[in-house]
Amino acid sequence: MATAVALRTDFSAADLRRLAAVSKNAAQSRRLLSLAAVRDGMNRTEAAKIGGMDRQTLRDWVHRFNSHGPDGLLDIPSPGPSSRLTAAQLAELEQIVETGPDPAVHGVVRWRRVDLKRLIAERFGVEYHERTIGKILDALGFSHISARPRHPAQDAGTIAAFKKTSQRR
């Protein structure tokens, strides 16, 4: 039969309850209260019920508390899925977006997410949803707002002449 895991002795039951009272994290408070009950000599099964967990889970939290202290009782956020593009590919994508499309090569005058989705699939072999392309662009520091595209055959002289419509007094 396994032996019980000893709880570190540098925190008293009153210290654990005080930490639970000032904690902003409800899960950490429940775990601290369970450990305070263990420190008071309560049965581990009953102490686990106080925190809304089973005995094995309480044992796991005791290990975390022993090694990391009260901060070890906080949930560790998941890092999420890793990017399917490498850092070099992301840097290349950033350069592509910064440079802008070539109408003769890409067939567009400004990048849209659907265009970048197609380009990423062709160049890097990675399929993304359009919404994910927007998230990648946001992570790279780009805004969804873009400048109005300029027609390649636009004449600056015509624009200047158009703006001068009234005479000065």
Q: Is residue 69 part of a domain?
A: yes
Q: Which domain holds residue 137?
A: 87-147
Q: Is residue 141 part of a domain?
A: yes
Burial 102-129 (b: 16+ CB within 10 A, else e): eeeeeebeebebebbbebbeeebeeebe
For residue 129, give the amino acid letter. H
DSSP string covering 113-141: HHHHHHHHHHHH-----HHHHHHHHHHTT
- Range with the lowest mean pLDDT among 11-20, 99-108, 153-162? 153-162
Residue 137 scores a pLDDT above 50: yes
Q: Is residue 163 part of a domain?
A: no
pLDDT in tens, 108-128: 888 999 999 999 999 999 999
Mean pLDDT across the stretch 40-50? 93
Q: Is residue 45 part of a domain?
A: yes
Residue 39 scores a pLDDT above 70: yes
Residues 57 and 104 in one domain: no
Long-range contacts of 147-153 (CB under 8 A, 24+ apart): 147/110, 149/109, 149/110, 150/109, 151/109, 152/103, 152/109
**pTM more than 0.75:** no
Query: Which one of 22, 50, 73 terminates a domain?
Result: 73
Q: Is residue 116 part of a domain?
A: yes
